[in-house]
Amino acid sequence: MDKGLNNSRKDFPILDQQVNGEPLVYLDNAATTQKPNQVLKTIVSYYQNDNANVHRGVHTLAERATDHYEAARDKVAEFINAANRKSIVYTRSTTESLNWVASSFGNLVVNEGDEIVISQLEHHSNIVPWQQVAQKQHATLKYIDLTTDGELDMDSARRQITDKTKIVAIAQAANVMGVVNPIKELAQIAHQHGAYMIADGAQAAPHMKIDVQDLDVDFYAFSGHKMLAPTGIGVLYGKQDLLEMMPPVQFGGEMIDFVHHQDASWTELPWKFEAGTPNISGAIALGSAIDYLTKLGMDNIHAYEHELVAYTLPKLLAVDGVTVYGPHDPNKHTGVLAFNMAGLHPHDVATGLDMEGVAVRAGHHCAQPLMEYLNVTATARASFYFYNTQADADKFIQAVTAVKEFFADGIS
């Protein structure tokens, strides 16, 4: 584990630098991941050789740009095992994907008196859009509770999802609690009650094999930047018949079939949703990121991260005064470790760790209802990816101990 999975660390030049006089240990991967040379080269090559607007031109560059952009869509479809490339809509991010499902599909199927079910561990981008639908449609937003371990309480799920439920929207992997939720089982429960299942895959798609057909989700959302691609490109997967039913969210060029003076008709899927000039280089770079991940193997990535967490979690738990949120059993944990240190504000913890070259996040992690549920205002969070090493884990634990001692000395 000293060179990253399959010696991958060498592909990430950004990791080879000093921060505050210490070698950088980047443990903020749940916020965004670093980009390998292969993806960076794809972006440069696109702009050096192929740059043109897609779908419009008949000239060679336009055809090449279009071919690359659409080939990347095929890669996305294969990556999540979508039945059909028409099910893959490019968006800006998970946030945009979830907003589109909520504002377009949600407002179509949710009526007065209906219920929308989410959980206590959701990211704001899978809470606020549903609040908006609930308010607009006079529907009720309900929350599935957590077990004391921080996992989804499936008894609570069975109680909350009823025949009144129209939408169940849950993160497949949680960005604070570090748990993986049983999306397939939730989809079965939702469908038994005639509800639609939406999965927020932002923290799952980068780390494990996803099969949207096996999960039987109706919609699935994820972001490129959390899986080696640049910011500004995301994906909304939807079952084809549901995307056909769902009205477009943005209107203008590219998404029309024909425009008359007073009205217009829409082109076919998936372009019906892709109004205007899209993030062409971002989509192509996402295709390159998928090539990179696929070569490593999603199951290998999952197993490697599990090994890192199984190594780190007991050591973190052993530091006096540290509280780790979510399960303490590494077998139930993803590479996301949210923690607090007794008597220290998480921002001070993160600043102290940065002085040691260790990058972690501190704050509410866009999960304020969860913070309220846990009765904390914020946490620190370390999150791993396949290019992290055992040495990174050791440095992290050493830095946590150093921060503890520094503040203990400062206070005494």
Catalytic site residue from 52, 108, 366, 376: 366
Q: Is residue 200 a contact partner of residue 123, using CB atoms and an 8 Å limit? A: yes
Rounded to whole angstroms, the Cα distance separating 215 from 188 reads 9
C-beta of 172: minimal distance to ligand PMP in Å? 8
Closest separation between CB of residue 345 and ligand PMP, Å? 21
Question: Between 200 and 392, whose beta carbon lies closer to ligand PMP?
Answer: 200
CA distance 233 to 228: 11
| Contact code string over 41-80 relative to ligand PMP, x by CB under 6 A | ----------------------------------------
Rounded to whole angstroms, the Cα distance separating 197 from 188 reads 9
> Based on CB atoms, which residue is closest to ligand PMP, 123 or 142?
123
> Judged by CB under 6 A, which of 125, 137, 181, 388 binds ligand PMP?
125
Q: Please name the residues in contact with 212: beta carbons below 8 A apart, sequence gap of 6 or more.
A: 80, 81, 82, 87, 220, 237
Among 35, 123, 381, 404, binds ligand PMP (CB under 6 A): 123
User: 110, 133 in Cβ contact below 8 A?
Assistant: yes
User: Nearer Cβ to ligand PMP, position 33 or 160?
Assistant: 33
Point out which span in 41-49, 120-128, 323-331, 342-350 binds ligand PMP (CB under 6 A).
120-128
Name the residue nearer to ligand PMP (CB basis): 11 or 200: 200
Q: Does 404 bind ligand PMP (CB under 6 A)?
A: no
Token pair for 54: 């897609």
On whether the CB atoms of residues 198 and 217 are closer than 8 A, the answer is yes
Q: Is residue 279 close enough to count as binding ligand PMP by CB under 6 A?
A: no
Binding mask 74-93 for ligand PMP (x = CB under 6 A): -------------------x
Interface mask toward ligand PMP for 353-392; x: CB under 6 A: -------------x--------------------------
> Which pairs from 80-83 meet CB under 8 Å and 24+ separation?
80/201, 80/205, 80/210, 80/211, 80/212, 80/220, 80/235, 80/237, 81/210, 81/211, 81/212, 81/213, 81/214, 82/212, 82/213, 82/237, 83/213, 83/240
Q: Is 207 a catalytic residue?
A: no
Identify which of residues 65 and 170 has a Cβ nearer to ligand PMP in the complex. Answer: 170
**CA torsion angle for 207, 208, 212, 218 (degrees, to 10)?**
-50
8 binds ligand PMP (CB under 6 A): no
Q: What is the 3-state secondary structure (H, E, C) of 171-198?
A: ECECCCCCCECCHHHHHHHHHHCCCEEE
| Smallest distance from ligand PMP to CB 222, Å | 8
Query: CA-CA distance, 125 to 98, in Å (whole number)?
Result: 7
Cα–Cα distance for residue pair 248/275, rounded to 1 Å = 9
- For ligand PMP, give the closer residue by CB, 128 or 391: 128
Pair of tokens at residue 240: 């084809």
> Applying CB under 6 A, which of residues 117, 171, 186, 322 lies at the interface with ligand PMP?
171
According to CB under 6 A, which one of 66, 87, 223, 334 is a site residue for ligand PMP? 223
In 103-181, alpha helices (H): 107-109, 128-137, 154-160
Rounded Cα distance between 283 and 65, Å, is 11
Q: How far does CA 286 lie from the centroid of its chain?
A: 14
Question: Considering beta carbons, is residue 50 or 200 the nearer one to ligand PMP?
Answer: 200
Q: With respect to ligand PMP, which residue has the nearer C-beta, 123 or 404? A: 123
Q: How many CB atoms lie within 10 A of CB 331?
A: 8
By CB under 6 A, the residues from 177 to 206 that bind ligand PMP are 200, 202-203
Residues 6+ apart with CB under 8 A from 95: 125, 223, 234
* Residue 334 interacting with ligand PMP (CB under 6 A): no
Least spacing, CB of residue 48 vs ligand PMP, in Å: 28
Binding of ligand PMP by 95 (CB under 6 A): yes
The residues of the shown chain that bind ligand PMP, judged by CB under 6 A, are: 30, 93-95, 123, 125-126, 171, 175, 200, 202-203, 223, 366
Positions marked catalytic: 366
